Structure 1
Amino acid sequence: MSENTANAANRGVARGLSRAQTLLVAAAAGMSVANIYYAQPLLDLMSNDLGISPSSIGLVVTLTQVGYGLGLIFVVPIGDLIDRRKLIIVQGLLSAIALVVVATAGARTTLLAGMGAVGLSAVLVQTLVAHAAALATPTQRGGVVGTVTSGVVTGILAARSVAGTIADHGGWRTVYLTSALLTIAMVGILVRALPRQEVERYSETYLSALLSVPYTFVSEPALLFRGVLALLIFASFSTFWTALVLPLSAPPFSYSHTLIGLFGLVGLAGAIGATCAGRLADRGHGRWTTGISLALLLASWGPIAFLPSSVILLLMGVFLLDLAVQAVHVSNLSVVVSLHPRKSGRLIGGYMVFYSVGSAVGAITATAIHARYGWPGICVLGGAFSGIALLVWIASRFQRARIERPAWPDVATTDGSNV
């Protein structure tokens, strides 16, 4: 890198990200994460088209998540060692190729392999989060992370309805072809719009970077604390959304899957909460934002428990649940990227592993609990995850000094206000 380029990079970082650049990254993150969720309303169409049995078509979703988990562990940390702009280009192009493979799949094996590759390349969303956090100034980092996370939430919520609408007009393959074209366009726009960032040269190898992730989380109490919170809140979140279709699709409601999908629009409250939580974190209120949000998460299961008596109360509970989960999530990310900005890629990847484990635990236990205890059992389970998370936060207040003590000499923030 030349001296002029380095100086330009430093000036770009010093200025941080403009509002337009932040929104662009948020949109790109939303498009990237949507690729993971497009398949959910299309499983029956894929099954009929390729002759895959209904009992096996669920592998499409499973392998996508497996690919995503592997990407979090093995791909996201690369962004700490090379220019993330280059990584974004490579990930974006590989994502487009994987989407085309899925769209043109003529056999089960090709489809499943393509979906695994789609999940693996979808970790582009975490590279974008880490890149935006690194480019942002310390005073705007929480707001930037919050806005980008809002884009992620919107992408997740919109994916199902967008996929259904496109499939109704052009078939399920058109969904993935359209996404491939949009991904290529997105990468081109990002490369031109985002400022360059100077890459610091480390003697560290890729293997040592990978091995440093579990060690860092174990040795740094603040990171482990935030990871545990992520596991618990997303276990609660996944418990609700996995089980919701079961009572609503059965009498007395017998709602269509399209109508049930509209309940997800209430989750846009989560996007609002994500932005607000980021701004509060920038002002040093991340700790109490987390505590209050965890209390709201526990309280949300009260109105949710009124199903099937009241759909209105259910919607109120959904609003509170999504708002609380996303607020805690953004507060967590703000702490993670602030503790060690130069290694934000691997730390975000490690944090998202907790997220993935929590989501999987919630999904697996929800179906088993509902089969045995019905909706009341779901509410007890979700409330238990939420209550444990709140107790963990309360317990952390008694060990504040130990949790807030930085483990590295170059920590960006050392006052612990957001921990």
Structure 2
Amino acid sequence: MENNAPLTRTTALLFAAACGCAVANVYYAQPLLNTMGSDLHIAPGAVGIIVTVTQTGYGLGLLLLLPLGDLLNRRRLIVTQLLLAVAALILVAVARAPLLFFAGIAAVGLLAVVTQTLVAYAATLAPTAERGRIIGLVTSGVVLGILLARTVSGTLADLAGWRAVYLFSAVLMLLTAIALFKVLPQKDPGKTVATYPQLLLSVFRLFAEERILRVRAMLAMFIFAAFSVLWTSLVLPLSAAPYHFSHTTIGMFGLIGVAGALGAARAGQLADRGRGQWTTGIALTLLLLSWLPISFTPCSIWALVTGIILLDLAIQAVHVTNQSMIYNIRPESRNRLVAGYMLCYSIGSGIGSIAATTTYAHAGWTGVCILGAAISALGLISWAVTMPRTAAKVITLSSSK
């Protein structure tokens, strides 16, 4: 049974803050790739592997850990994952051997999926009529976490080295675990009676049975591949001539994308009003157009700023709309639905990260922009091809409520 207990604005803001702190762990490394690669003796053209390993861990967590939210008490599950994340972050901070570092960073990615458990839980606690708004609010916390991660990590790295970033995050995770332990409901009704193996298999069964999930997961793969293409490779031209920016300055570019957080909340409201399909189309068009100003980065910082605003706004609008639509399919399977959806997100992010640094090494910034635009175009084409049938399915679901 779905739990529609009121979710206060204060509690929703705590959910958003917790999501932001947890998801930031996946993105702290992006403005630090050069420094981390040098410290760990990784070739410049291969430093994207750090982000890819983190995203691989995140993908495994989506498949192996996130479905547990439909089976176990979410309060205990969330707090346990946060405490384990503290240990993983400390391991990354103290690791000297590359193998130990990669084990720790993979575990950090694995446990960062607590973010999606929190989003799914917020959707469960929210009243049906306000679900899109609540998802938008909590997702705004995710967006801010992703963007501010670069600013925080760049500043801390300049002050105390890149390892201090992960020690700082370990403290944040501990405080977050304590706060959520006190606030989250002790009772968690509506659990499935399936076994763990059945639970994992049902993730793939939901893919086979729910077309909306398949379509929206495919869009997630494209948009977050484009997202990673930009943010993984951006450190490379900004740290080279003619700019030679510091970690702090490069990290500050994350603040520019805060407009994406505002767009995320608005997109959720539009989805509540049944306008999710057209919101998606407009956002994907903006995503494609954003690569034009981004391509002028080597000669104009203001062009880059414009492109970042457009790109982050577009991606988060699609992301919130995607989640609002899939959460309405099967309330009892929300964690598994988001596991399947976010698994494609993680695949896209991982591919985008390694492809971006490899492309930059061989074709420079122009090649990166062509790659990002091509991925964005594929997302727009996929939406245009699938939109009519998906829209009809959404109307049918709305009518049956």
TM-score (norm 2): 0.89
Instruction: Provide, for residues 270-295 of structure 1, a one-character-per-residue CA deviation record: whole Å limited to 9, x for no partner.
Output: 11111111121122221221111112
1:33 maps to: 23
d(CA) in 2 for partners of 1:179, 1:105? 16
d(CA) in 2 for partners of 1:59, 1:278? 33
2:366 maps to: 376
* Count of residue pairs the alignment pairs up: 399
1:350 maps to: 340
Secondary structure (helix, strand or coil) at the match of 1:202 reads coil
With over 3 angstroms needed to count, the CA separation of the structure-2 counterparts of 1:314 and 1:47, relative to structure 1, is closer
Residues 270, 323 of structure 1: 8 Å contact kept: yes
Kindly indicate whether residue 220 of structure 2 is the aligned counterpart of residue 236 of structure 1: no
Structure 2 matches for 1:300-319, cutoff 5 A?
A: 300-319=290-309
1:46, CA displacement in angstroms? Answer: 5.7
d(CA) in 1 for partners of 2:259, 2:224? 16
Instruction: Provide, for residues 77-127 of structure 1, a one-character-per-residue CA deviation record: whole Å limited to 9, x for no partner.
Output: 011011111111211111122223333445444333222222221111111
d(CA) in 2 for partners of 1:281, 1:87? 29
Q: Paired residue for 1:286, among 276, 284, 300?
A: 276
Q: Supply the AA of the counterpart residue of 1:414.
A: S
1:414, CA displacement in angstroms? Answer: 3.1
2:136 maps to: 146
d(CA) in 1 for partners of 2:378, 2:95? 44
Kindly indicate whether residue 124 of structure 2 is the aligned counterpart of residue 134 of structure 1: yes
1:258 maps to: 248
Residues 52, 353 of structure 2: 8 Å contact kept: no
d(CA) in 1 for partners of 2:32, 2:370? 31
Deviates more, 1:390-399 or 1:107-116: 107-116
Kindly indicate whether residue 54 of structure 2 is the aligned counterpart of residue 67 of structure 1: no
Secondary structure (helix, strand or coil) at the match of 1:203 reads coil
2:111 maps to: 121
2:376 maps to: 386
Q: Percent identity?
A: 50
1:341, CA displacement in angstroms? Answer: 1.9
Residues 142, 279 of structure 1: 8 Å contact kept: yes
Residues 89, 166 of structure 2: 8 Å contact kept: yes
2:314 maps to: 324
Q: Supply the AA of the counterpart residue of 2:296.
A: F
d(CA) in 1 for partners of 2:241, 2:328? 49
1:298, CA displacement in angstroms? Answer: 1.7
Q: Which runs of 5+ in 1 are unaligned?
A: 1-8, 407-412
1:192 maps to: 182
Q: Paired residue for 1:54, among 33, 39, 42?
A: 42
Q: Supply the AA of the counterpart residue of 2:88.
A: A
d(CA) in 2 for partners of 1:307, 1:161? 19
Residues 30, 235 of structure 2: 8 Å contact kept: no
d(CA) in 2 for partners of 1:102, 1:380? 34
1:342, CA displacement in angstroms? Answer: 1.5
d(CA) in 2 for partners of 1:270, 1:210? 33
d(CA) in 2 for partners of 1:76, 1:375? 36
d(CA) in 2 for partners of 1:383, 1:213? 31
Runs of 4+ in 1 over 6 A off after TM superposition: none
Q: Supply the AA of the counterpart residue of 2:41.
A: S
1:178 maps to: 168
Q: Paired residue for 1:217, among 207, 231, 237?
A: 207
d(CA) in 2 for partners of 1:373, 1:47? 21
Deviates more, 1:360-369 or 1:379-388: 360-369
d(CA) in 2 for partners of 1:155, 1:67? 18
Kindly indicate whether residue 141 of structure 2 is the aligned counterpart of residue 157 of structure 1: no
1:401, CA displacement in angstroms? Answer: 6.3
Residues 211, 390 of structure 2: 8 Å contact kept: no
With over 3 angstroms needed to count, the CA separation of the structure-2 counterparts of 1:185 and 1:277, relative to structure 1, is same
Kindly indicate whether residue 392 of structure 2 is the aligned counterpart of residue 414 of structure 1: no
Residues 55, 349 of structure 2: 8 Å contact kept: no
With over 3 angstroms needed to count, the CA separation of the structure-2 counterparts of 1:245 and 1:169, relative to structure 1, is closer
Residues 63, 340 of structure 2: 8 Å contact kept: yes
Q: Which runs of 5+ in 2 are unaligned?
A: none
1:6 maps to: none
Q: Supply the AA of the counterpart residue of 2:229.
A: T
Secondary structure (helix, strand or coil) at the match of 1:140 reads helix
1:147, CA displacement in angstroms? Answer: 1.4
Deviates more, 1:73-82 or 1:353-362: 353-362
The two structures, once aligned, show a CA RMSD in angstroms of 2.7
Residues 135, 197 of structure 1: 8 Å contact kept: no
d(CA) in 1 for partners of 2:91, 2:363? 42
d(CA) in 2 for partners of 1:323, 1:338? 23
